[in-house]
Amino acid sequence: MSRLLRACPLIASLILLGLIPATSRADENTEHRRQGSLTLSWGYNRASYTTSNIHFTGPDYDFTLHDIGAVDRPTPFSLGIYISPTRFTLPQYVGRIAYYFSERTSVSLGMAHLKYVAIRGQGTNISGRIGAEASETYAGDYDNDPIALEKSLLLFEHTNGLNYVSLELETLLPLWQKGDHSAGLYATLGGGAGPVVPVTDVTLFGDRRINQTHLAGYGFSSHLGLKTEFLNRFFVHGFWTAGFINLPSILTRSGGGEDRASQHFFFLEGALTGGVTVFRFH
C-alpha cells in the first residue's frame, strides 16, 4: 500500500505531461470556452492516515512513540455551521482557485484543512529518555517498551488544521458533453505539492501547551475524480487524493523554544466541492 501511495504523485505527473493536448477540433468548436477562465471552489472532506512514529524533543526529554494510529475529526452536519458565514470554516474543508491556461488543463492554488487526532488510549511502544525534570511519572530510559497513550503521557492533535497548502496541475478527460458544450461530465486527474502549516494541540506529561500556526513541513499528492459542469458556469467535483506529509518541525509549546516533534505519514482524502467560474480573460 505504501509503495502505491509513493508512486501516485509520480504516475499522475507523467500522465499529466502526456495528456495536456494541443488545441483539438472539439476545443475550436467551443471557442475556448474554458481556456482563460478563473474558477473558485469550496467543499468538505474526510481523511484517513497511516500509522507514524512521533519523535519528541525538549528540555530533559528525547523519545519516540512508535506506530501511532490517528483519525480525522469531522464536524456533525448542521446548517448553523456549514452555511454560517462565520462558522463554515470550522469543519474539515478544501478550497481552491484555479486558472485554465488551456481548454482542459488548469493550475490552481488551494488548501485542504484536514484534522488529525492521535487515538487516545492506544497501545504503543516507546524508545528514548525522559528525565525527572520533564516528568517524574515517566522518568526513565526506554528501549521499545510497551506503553499506553494516556492523557497523563500525551494528547496529540492537529485539529485547528493539518493545513496542506498546494499548487496543483489538473487535466480534464471528457466522458460526456452536451452538444453546445454548456454541460458535461469529466474525469479529472491531477497532482501537486506544497507546505503544511499545522496548528497542533499538545498535552505532554499532563501539561497542555497549545501552539501557534507554524510551518512544520511539506506534502505532495495526486488526485482522481469526477466533475460535472452545467449552465456554462457551475460545477460539482468529487475526488480522492492520496499523498504523503512530512513534518520535521512541529511546535509543541506556544512560543517555540526547544520543544519540537516530528513525524511523517501517508494520507487518503475524499472530498466533494462545488464551484463557479468567476471570470473569463477573453
CATH of span 2-280: 2.40.160.20
Looking at residue 232, the DSSP 8-state letter turns out to be: T
| Rounded Cα distance, 25 and 81, in Å | 46
Q: Measure the CA–CA gap between 173 and 226, rounded to whole angstroms.
A: 9
Q: Is 86 within 8 Å of 245 (Cβ atoms)?
A: no
Does the pLDDT value for residue 81 go beyond 50?
yes
Q: pLDDT digit string (tens) for 169-209? A: 999 999 999 988 789 999 999 999 999 999 999 999 999 99
By the 10 Å C-beta count (0-12 exposed, 13-18 middle, 19+ buried), 215 is classed as middle
Report the distance separating Cα 139 and Cα 191, nearest Å: 45
User: Taking all residues of the chain, what is their mean pLDDT, rounded to a whole number?
Assistant: 90
Which letter does DSSP use for residue 177 in this model? E
With 0-12 / 13-18 / 19 or more C-beta atoms within 10 angstroms meaning exposed / middle / buried, residue 37 is buried
- Whether residue 115 is predicted with pLDDT greater than 90 in this model: the reply is yes
Q: Which residues pair with 117 in a beta bridge?
A: 71, 157
pLDDT band at 32 (very low <50, low <70, confident <90, very high): low
Q: Where are the domains positioned within the chain?
A: 2-280
Contact 105, 171 (CB under 8 A): yes
